[in-house]
Structure 1
Amino acid sequence: MGTAEKQLRLKLNNGELMPAVATGTALLKEFNTEFILKAIELGYRHFDTAKFYGPSEKILGEAFQEAFKQGLVKREELFITTKIPPSDMNPADIIPTLKSSLSALQLDYVDMYLIHWPLSIRAEATWWQLTPEDYLPLDMPGCWKALEECVELGLTKGIGVSNWSVKNLKSLVSHAKIIPAVNQIERHPGCEQSAIVNYCKEIGTVVTGYAALGAPGYGASPLGTYGTNAVIESPILQEIAAKYGKTSAQVALRWALELGCGVVVKSVNPVWTALTQFLSLMLGAGEQTEFFAV
């Protein structure tokens, strides 16, 4: 797997190097062990999941064990990110929830543990049909302290957040002993979120963008109309792509990398889209193997 060593990596504030591109595992019907093994064979080393994604953690765990058995990769070569859902955002529930995720993943630790959303909801609530009664009081200082304890216990190497605004981050930083290593937000050329990105740079937090290609095709998901083709069909990106012999998707992803941000992408097509074209894009960056986002 010589190609994997050449991937760009982001230097995190905990000293770890995080592969700049992650394979996403959310809302993917075709997601299975074969998908993960193929991604590993192609050189992917960062896998992004969440308890909220249903069977994703379990499938990943089975695939990792098979990959270890086949000698495709070693545990220390992988970077695994998972997230705590809003239904478990209580200080007393955070460590047990992470242990449950580790059991499903069949791992002793994850590399990054994120708060999926800055809110707490009833366990019985339906995410895309939330009512005012579904929202619960949120003890963020207590929850973050529990995440810091997860680091102390060796259950995760790093902790961070997802979908957090500047206001939320400023409130967290005011009492945190460990500054978030990552803030994962929706980000692509049509959704720059410059204010959040700039503040994250100020405090030493790396930004990772999900929906890095606009999440085309998500209209058939429970999220309804979420997602757009406007990124990959952008006339501006297509013009740039034609000039350099690339695709609009490659241009959109390179845009994120050049600004020091990571991306989360996924595809079940091993011949076209991100699984292959983005790997070749990363390897076209020369000998650079790490860069700093701050």
Structure 2
Amino acid sequence: MGVAGKQLRVKLNNGQFMPAVATGTAPMKEMSPEFVIEAIEVGYRHFDTAAMYGIEAILGKGLQQAFTQGLVKREDIFVTTKLWVTDLNAPDIVPSLKKCLSALQLEYVDMFVPHWPVRIRPGSMWFQLAPEDFLPLDLPACWKAFEECVHLGLTKGIGAGNCGIKNLKLLMADATIPPAINQIERHPGHERREIVEFCQKHGIHVQGWAALGAPNYGVLPLGAYGTNVVLESPILIKIGAKYGKTSAQVALRWNLDQGCSVVVRSTKRERMAQNLDLFDFSLTPQELVDIRGVEPNIIDPGTFFVSAGSPYKTPADMWAED
């Protein structure tokens, strides 16, 4: 049995089985069809992408090459893509997903998620928004359009993206298809316990992005951001030594042991393999408690979407419970 066969697959509330470790494809200069092939060879079966990343066509080309070469079949691969905030308007959602599918060269994706629960004017730059760039958002109406994407066979599953409890309640109020996942930033030092508990209570699977603290993560035109706090944590390093694992592997296992999955990214084959080598150990209850001592660190609380014109006047508003 290869690495891919050993991976944990989590069962979602819609009956889908989703590989618990996804390789991220956020904007990176190394993204190429060859990267996709290498990730599949290493053992990845879950690719997380987004319209905003601008690389869906590259991912699609790599997947088609993998299918042609017989490395995998379409049903072996789980693809998640995300709708950007300029398209979070009910009439635009089905056409936007069709555009993504065209770029990906796929008939369907496995999971479709709104990137953030906010709507901005098309053509505006998300990293320098003015109050007038924010547009009214009807989240329940948008969710109905996401449900239509399922009915049309354009996606097998739909989920939430960066949703706090208040937004989840709003989204779920009239839903006939509940969100299968909620993608949120989650790593040691940023536990999000209240959101995780709410999601698990309501059968929503939590997927943690920036699962290693996004060290040296670069997004043009902002340059590098992220933190080394997670990877350099003495707590994680000490626990890793006990199991013969790296601090990164301990950080990823921390999410898995709490019932969450992860999105993690590396372009180095050795590290890509390490990030999948998580299934021969688990953390003790005491170690999970100890990891709460990792220095608090947050990569992106949604600050870019805080404005006088936004529904969120502070980052806390985005993550409010009521």
Q: What TM-score do you get using the length of structure 1 for normalisation?
A: 0.93
Give the match for residue 290 of structure 1: none
Shift of 1:220: 6.6
Higher relative contact order (CA 8 A, sep 6+): 1
Give the match for residue 28 of structure 2: 28
Residue identity (%): 62
> Structure 2 counterpart of 1:139, which letter?
D
| 1:124-273 to 2 correspondences below 5 Å | 124-218=123-217, 221-224=220-223, 226-271=225-270, 273=271
Give the match for residue 11 of structure 2: 11
Shift of 1:219: 5.7
> Structure 1 counterpart of 2:5, which letter?
E
1:13-49 per-position Cα deviation (integer Å, ceiling 9, x unaligned): 0001000000000021111111110000111000000
Give the match for residue 121 of structure 2: 122
> Structure 2 counterpart of 1:97, which letter?
S
Rounded Cα–Cα distance in structure 1 between residues aligned with 2:58 and 2:226: 25
1:234-292 per-position Cα deviation (integer Å, ceiling 9, x unaligned): 01111111122111001000000000101001111112x2x11122223x269xxxxxx
Give the match for residue 277 of structure 2: 280
Question: Structure 1 residues 186, 223: closer, same or farther in 2, change over 3 A?
Answer: farther
SS of the residue corresponding to residue 159 of structure 2 reads: strand
Stretch moving more, 217-226 or 7-16? 217-226
Rounded Cα–Cα distance in structure 1 between residues aligned with 2:138 and 2:4: 40
Question: Structure 1 residues 220, 17: closer, same or farther in 2, change over 3 A?
Answer: closer
1:104-134 per-position Cα deviation (integer Å, ceiling 9, x unaligned): 0000000000011101101111111111111
- How many residues of Structure 1 are paired with residues of Structure 2 in the alignment? 282
Alpha-carbon contact 2:27-2:218 (below 8 Å) kept = no
> Structure 2 counterpart of 1:23, which letter?
T
1:183-229 per-position Cα deviation (integer Å, ceiling 9, x unaligned): 00000011101111010001110000010000000267534564100
> Structure 2 counterpart of 1:167, which letter?
K
SS of the residue corresponding to residue 277 of structure 2 reads: helix
SS of the residue corresponding to residue 82 of structure 1 reads: strand
Give the match for residue 288 of structure 2: none
> Structure 1 counterpart of 2:96, which letter?
T
Question: Structure 1 residues 225, 104: closer, same or farther in 2, change over 3 A?
Answer: closer
Rounded Cα–Cα distance in structure 2 between residues aligned with 1:278 and 1:160: 24
Rounded Cα–Cα distance in structure 1 between residues aligned with 2:101 and 2:8: 26
Shift of 1:177: 1.0
| 1:102-121 to 2 correspondences below 5 Å | 102-121=101-120
Shift of 1:2: 3.4
SS of the residue corresponding to residue 81 of structure 2 reads: strand
Rounded Cα–Cα distance in structure 1 between residues aligned with 2:107 and 2:25: 20
List, as ranges, runs of 4+ consecutive aligned residues in structure 1 with deviation greater than 6 Å: none
Alpha-carbon contact 2:25-2:31 (below 8 Å) kept = yes
Stretch moving more, 217-226 or 61-70? 217-226
Stretch moving more, 238-247 or 252-261? 238-247
Give the match for residue 292 of structure 1: none
Rounded Cα–Cα distance in structure 1 between residues aligned with 2:96 and 2:219: 29
Rounded Cα–Cα distance in structure 2 between residues aligned with 1:268 and 1:219: 13
